[in-house]
Amino acid sequence: MPTKSISPLLLPDSPRLLDRVRACLRLASLGRRTETAYVSWIRRYILFHGKRHPAAMGRAEVEAFLTHLAVARRVGASTQNQAQSALLFLYGKVLKVELPWLANVVRARVPSRRPTVLSESEVQRLLAEIRDPELGLIVGLLYGSGLRLGEALDLRLMDVDLEGMQLRIRGAKGDKDRMAILPQSLAELLRGRTAWCCALHATEYRRGRGAVPLPGRAGTEAGKTFLLGWQYVFPAPGFSVDAESGEICRGHVDCRRVQRAVKAAALRAGIAAPVSPHTLRHSFATHLIEQGYDIRTVQELLGHSEVSTTMIYIHALNSGERPVRSPLDEFDGDLLREPAASGYLVAA
């Protein structure tokens, strides 16, 4: 449904559309990943319709694009929903146009299959096959604390509470903060890891380096800081240039390294089921419920907004609330090795 008036975005002196989208997303305090995804979907929507300006399009074009994703591209329901959310944000928050109800969209089918869950013995075999100690500690947190991969890689030094045996998860899915359990069996490894990170930062700071990007959009100028507490627990081996600000910062370990390590470890462990880092989060939740922990407790630990999301993991009866012990601490022996000092720690 084309608009009848000329959008301010079409005026010669108006900001570019995608820049306006980014500005609105940041004003809404949405995360970097959400911003990247929304901008990507809006760009694909514009290209799909021959680079027509969204202000000159409306419900029919949105329905055509979303139907194309489901029918021709065969995307999943969650992917289609994300694309729809991006377009609704574009029209509602940026263009200030409320779209009528999208009644003619062919919806992607919601899969009914359950998530892959490893047995406790399979988790032990998988962890034993992680050959890089640094990656082994990350994978241990995925299972031992029930973290998403991005949550583990985003951990800052100030988020590790070794006294309270907790991890603070910042800006997780839905831009929510929560506290996760820190397994006793990983406490000393994390203590050594944080000490190593402090030494790395001290060395880099003396050389005028060591800035890291701040989460979200608040903070110091250009969104970076040299403060120790904001340093990543799992820093990248080198520096990179921020695509937006052009600032040189140190990011965190590449998620693809962890993904490849988990798949390779599963293959060496002889696990037939398809395994990804997220499989360990599924296994964390399922094993807690099997041990008798209350579904509401598991919901809080996972950071789910609705208990219905957590209900998929029910395989045993609830037994009421009690202090939570990480399933990783049920294993015998030390499965994970002390991370060696990485080669990129420059001597002072």
pLDDT per position as a tens digit, 181-226: 999 999 999 999 999 999 999 999 988 888 888 876 444 444 778 8
The pLDDT assigned to 245 comes to 60
The pLDDT assigned to 343 comes to 56
Domain ranges in the chain with CATH number 1.10.150.130: 8-94
Does the domain at residues 120-330 carry the CATH identifier 3.40.50.1400? no
CA 244 distance to own-chain centroid: 20
Percent helix, strand, coil in the chain (nearest 5)? 50, 10, 45
What is d(CA 152, CA 189) in angstroms, rounded to the nearest whole number? Answer: 15
Q: Among residues 281, 282, 287, 293, which one is catalytic?
A: 281
User: Is 257 a residue of the active site?
Assistant: no
The pLDDT assigned to 340 comes to 61
**Sign of the dihedral through C-alpha 137, 143, 148, 149:** positive
Residue where the block lists tokens 């079409």: 10
Which of the given ranges, 21-35, 48-62, 92-106, 128-142, has the highest pLDDT on average?
128-142
The pLDDT assigned to 347 comes to 46
pLDDT per position as a tens digit, 6-59: 444 443 344 689 999 999 988 887 777 788 899 999 999 999 999 999 999 988
List of residues 6+ apart from 130 with CB closer than 8 A: 136, 139, 261, 262, 265, 336
What band does 4 get if pLDDT is binned at 50, 70 and 90? Answer: very low
Cβ–Cβ < 8 Å for 165, 312: no
List of residues 6+ apart from 203 with CB closer than 8 A: 345, 346, 347, 348
Q: Among residues 148, 193, 252, 287, which one is catalytic?
A: 148
pLDDT per position as a tens digit, 305-314: 888 777 877 7
Any bridge partners for residue 166, and if so which?
161, 181
Of residues 80, 94, 97, 98, the one with CA closest to residue 44:
80
pLDDT surpasses 90 at 339 = no
User: Is 51 a residue of the active site?
Assistant: no
Mean pLDDT in the chain?
84
Q: Among residues 43, 263, 278, 325, which one is catalytic?
A: 278
What are the helix (H) ranges across 174-276? 184-206, 255-268
Domain ranges in the chain with CATH number 1.10.443.10: 120-330
Give me the CATH code for the 8-94 domain, please.
Answer: 1.10.150.130
The pLDDT assigned to 115 comes to 81
The two beta strands, 166-172 and 176-181, are: antiparallel
User: Is 73 a residue of the active site?
Assistant: no
pLDDT surpasses 70 at 341 = no
User: Is 304 a residue of the active site?
Assistant: yes
User: Is 281 a residue of the active site?
Assistant: yes
What band does 3 get if pLDDT is binned at 50, 70 and 90? Answer: very low
What are the helix (H) ranges across the chain? 17-27, 32-48, 59-71, 77-89, 120-128, 133-144, 149-153, 184-206, 255-268, 277-290, 295-302, 307-310
Of residues 144, 129, 135, the one with CA closest to residue 283:
144
The pLDDT assigned to 345 comes to 58
User: Is 315 a residue of the active site?
Assistant: no
pLDDT per position as a tens digit, 153-166: 999 999 999 999 99
Of residues 194, 183, 202, the one with CA closest to residue 232:
194
Q: Among residues 173, 178, 257, 263, which one is catalytic?
A: 173
Cβ–Cβ < 8 Å for 151, 169: yes
The pLDDT assigned to 261 comes to 96
pLDDT surpasses 90 at 262 = yes
Q: Among residues 45, 91, 143, 313, which one is catalytic?
A: 313
What is the pTM for the complete model shown?
0.73
The stretch 308-337 carries a mean pLDDT of 68
